[in-house]
Amino acid sequence: MKNKIFSFAIILIGLLLSISFISVSANAMHAKPIKKAIVNQKTQEQNNIELLKKNCDSKDANSCLKVATLIAQNDNAHLSSKDVKKYLDLACNYGSFESCSEIGNYITESEPSDESKQIAFNYLEKSCAGNYLLGCYNLSRFYLNGYIGKKDYEKAKEMSQKLCENNIGLACNNLGVIFAKGYGVTIDDKLAIELYEKSCHLETGIGCLNLGVALHSGKGTNVNHPKAFEYFKKGCNLNSAESCYMAGLIIPTINPIKTDYTQMKVFYEKSCNLGYYTGCNNLGNFYLNGTGVTKNFAKALNLYSNACDNDEPIGCFNRGAMYQDGKGTSVNYEKAARDYQMSCDKDFAYACLNLGVIYLNSKSEDNIKQGRQLLVKALSLKPNDATILNAFKIYQISN
């Protein structure tokens, strides 16, 4: 009986992810022409690359950049990273300052070592010196985030200010962050909002997101949920994954009496597809509970797995709860404990609670001791939480 008390999935931020399947005709008559067309297309692409490589050998920077782009777009791009860097480097050396910026970004994202960051910084400096404004923006991020050495907020502010004056929306957003957070300056929320607004007007998704967050929270302005929703929606249209998530999240606040779950699903689904994995988890909640959709435990489990496998602790927790309860799968306490442990390690309190309860219901003294420790950790993460305090009472643990 005790074992069931805390076996539940916490629904924190309801989101959805629908998986659409394309039905492929089994008609054998179409198989060969389709296959032949694909082969011809790949042959043409390869011929294009070879021609561009020849032009690159003749020091045509634009051709070198196109070769790098085509290689990077290949499905096995991770196997060809050396080739991508090779052709971007050639393009950069032949005078394409855009390529200097691209290789700087490529190295920053794929090679996290300090040595690689210094190499990336050098490429970005060259790009900025060639007056490629996005190269200057990427260089400013090094100063703002301290990718090499100490953070230099003054330099980041100076560069972001000039770039924003030149209508680089990302720089306007970063300048807004500098004033909102007080990075080397006095906090100025109103100025931050003006900068976010300019960034969003320049079609920058993250600027729309930050403007929506300010209107949602009332920081530096009056709370205005309908207006916040419009900015989140615009950010989502600009493929800002978190904007899609926030657009879905705020819908019940705008209309709590008649919540549009179908619209929420659309936003959460896009958020998940763009890689915001809290959205995948909350979409799983929709399918688990039948919120605006038909209940589908298998789909919920798949969505929780997607979230968990991408380091989203609540996704691990909810998947663990499904294994514990046998929803969409057979009961499996070993897998439940594994998922709760992953979630608890990332400080998700209810995962520590559920894992602790599993251990407390075992007959092993060592497990019972560990269960008590897990409940103590859960309470330290969420002091005064009624559910956790109730567990302390049931298992007679002193807090």
Mean pLDDT by 10 residues, the chain (399 residues): 39 30 31 44 69 94 92 63 91 96 92 91 97 96 92 97 98 98 97 98 98 96 96 98 98 92 96 97 96 95 97 98 96 97 98 96 92 96 96 88
d(C-alpha 368, C-alpha 362), whole Å: 7
| Measured distance CA(316)–CA(313) in Å, rounded | 5
* Residue 115: strand, helix, or coil: helix
Domains and CATH numbers, the chain: 48-151 (1.25.40.10)
Predicted model pTM: 0.81
pLDDT tens digits, residue range 126-157? 999 999 999 999 999 999 999 988 899 999 99
Q: Measured between alpha carbons, how far is 136 from 146 in angstroms, rounded to an integer?
A: 15
Check residue 342 and give its pLDDT. Answer: 98
d(CA 225, CA 223): 6
Supply the DSSP symbol for 223: -
Torsion 202-203-206-207 (CA) sign: positive
